[in-house]
Structure 1
């Protein structure tokens, strides 16, 4: 228990303390994006991501571009029926 400043004899217990104000929280550079519910909006976003992925854009680049997580983009691509490339990048450009 700790004494609260300026309140005289009142004590607060650790479980009664308010949550931290965010001063010590790391800042994220990603904006909050709402989770897409199943339906035409989700299908549209998935189709756009699929087109970009099929043209060679990486999942990480798509995630950064759209403000979504890697897993969220991967899930949308899987739902769109994408055939995923093997790990390690596009090998065809290195062989040319």
Structure 2
């Protein structure tokens, strides 16, 4: 908001309940846990570039699943921005 870019806080929502990512141990489990777990509710994003913001990135599975949901609605480009990375 400070830089003048539009902020859309509700364009992604869960399409199904999934286990908390912290309860998974492997990269494969994390990816499988969030496959098809999100949908994009905003149909006006076709052709747009989106920046996704997440608090912590461990494997990138959540951002990847969200990006897939956005791209299925025609979003052209998705960038992921995380505040912390687990090492």
Please state which structure has a larger fraction of its residues in helix.
Answer: 1
Structure-2-length-normalised TM-score: 0.29
Please give the TM-score of this superposition, normalised by the length of structure 1: 0.27
Instruction: With a CA cutoff of 8 Å and minimum separation of 6, indicate the structure with the bigger relative contact order.
Output: 2
